[in-house]
Amino acid sequence: MRKIIVALLAGLMMISLTACGQNQASNSSKKETTKEQKEFKIGAIPDQSAAELNPNMEATARYLSEKTGLKVKFVPANDYAALVTAFERGEIQLVWFGGLTGVQARAVAPGAEAIAQRPRDAKFQSVFIAQKNLNVSKIEDLKGKIFTFGSESSTSGSLMPRYFLTKAGIDPEKDFNGKPNYSGSHDKTIKLVESGAFETGALNISVWEKTVKENKVDLNKVKVFYTTPEYFDYHWTINNLDNIDKVYGDGTKQKVKDALLSMSIDKGGDQAQALKFFQTEKFVETNNDNYKAIEEVAKKLGMVK
């Protein structure tokens, strides 16, 4: 009998130890799952083709992962408005915005901050283009022409061109030949004018310069006839909807900012690939106040409440 009791006790101890081990494994698995879910997601306005944008934003994500220790993932957006909505919901933590979308995003996501930009973004410009044989040499000549903007939410492809058109006495809703078109991206604006589908258009100067440099536009068919005055534009904005340091660890916001500001084209690898795509050698610090002028213009045009 004594042997039977000892055997039973030993069996119960084994069951207890097995259950304990299973619980520990289960708890460990839950911790791992929770950890896996804490991806730090980044985005960018889709102002260029996905074939250009996506691989270079993925390189940016890899660099940020390596530099910060966060699990960074790039999430493509279908359009500008969808990206602002995702930012508002806290689904994206860091975004490469244009001036207008940045203002729109910070208006709906309290605590969000503009933290970095390219040096050229403090003095950004738009260009107005036309079919080469079209008789236009100044912005006032656009009256009666068939015109396309870029995305409706684009700073350099819509908001600021619209502002300068208005200053020149042109009402974009009344003075073109028909309502203005919205191409959706800067490279599409170039192609629409080059193909003859539209006589004229406006886009961001850096995309124009890049397209020319890469011989992706026929300069026998398209010309720049007006370059706007300077304004602040593109920048990185970090979300703080759920207290980013609380969710991802103390100092996360500063860590991400420092990682962006320490990027150098001379260091090669993913950071060099990303910077070449962004057409810059580095990022510099910025802040929300730099976009007050864009906010005022957007409010006047009814694009920000």
Please check whether residue 16 lies inside any domain of the structure: no
- Same-domain pairing of 201 and 179: yes
Model pLDDT, residue 252: 96
- Same-domain pairing of 212 and 74: no
Q: What CA–CA distance (Å, rounded) separates 7 from 25?
A: 27
- Same-domain pairing of 144 and 222: yes
- The domain that holds 238 is classified in CATH as 3.40.190.10
- Same-domain pairing of 134 and 206: yes
Exposure class string for 188-199: b at 16+ Cβ within 10 A, else e:
bbbbbbbeeebb
Number of structural domains in the chain: 2
- Same-domain pairing of 116 and 240: yes
Cα dist. 197→15, 23, 190, 291 in Å? 76, 66, 10, 34
Range of 71's domain? 39-121+233-300
Q: What CA–CA distance (Å, rounded) separates 303 from 162?
A: 12
Which of 173, 208, 227 represents a domain boundary (last residue)?
227
Please check whether residue 34 lies inside any domain of the structure: no
DSSP H or E segment with residue 223: strand 222-227
- Same-domain pairing of 245 and 178: no
- Same-domain pairing of 131 and 204: yes
> What digits encode the pLDDT tens for the residues 85-140?
999 999 999 999 999 999 999 999 999 999 999 999 999 999 999 999 999 999 99
- Same-domain pairing of 109 and 181: no
Please check whether residue 18 lies inside any domain of the structure: no
Which of 193, 210, 227 represents a domain boundary (last residue)?
227
Residues 6+ apart with CB under 8 A from 39: 71, 72, 73
- Cβ-contact 113, 288 below 8 angstroms: yes
> What digits encode the pLDDT tens for the residues 19-47?
444 555 444 444 443 445 489 999 999 99
Tell me, what amino acid is at 28?
S
Please check whether residue 14 lies inside any domain of the structure: no
Which of 171, 194, 227 represents a domain boundary (last residue)?
227
Least confident of 76-80, 168-172, 201-205, 301-305: 301-305
Please check whether residue 194 lies inside any domain of the structure: yes
- Same-domain pairing of 108 and 71: yes
Please check whether residue 28 lies inside any domain of the structure: no
Model pLDDT, residue 81: 93
- Same-domain pairing of 115 and 260: yes
Strands 113-117 and 94-97: unpaired
Torsion angles phi and psi, residue 207, rounded to 5: -65, -40
- Same-domain pairing of 108 and 137: no
pLDDT at residue 268 greater than cutoff 60: yes
- Same-domain pairing of 117 and 237: yes
Model pLDDT, residue 187: 95
- Cβ-contact 258, 264 below 8 angstroms: no
**Whole-structure pTM value:** 0.78
When pLDDT is cut at 50, 70 and 90, the band that residue 287 belongs to is very high
- Cβ-contact 103, 304 below 8 angstroms: yes
Please check whether residue 211 lies inside any domain of the structure: yes
Please check whether residue 252 lies inside any domain of the structure: yes
When pLDDT is cut at 50, 70 and 90, the band that residue 161 belongs to is very high
Better-predicted residue by pLDDT, 192 or 242? 192
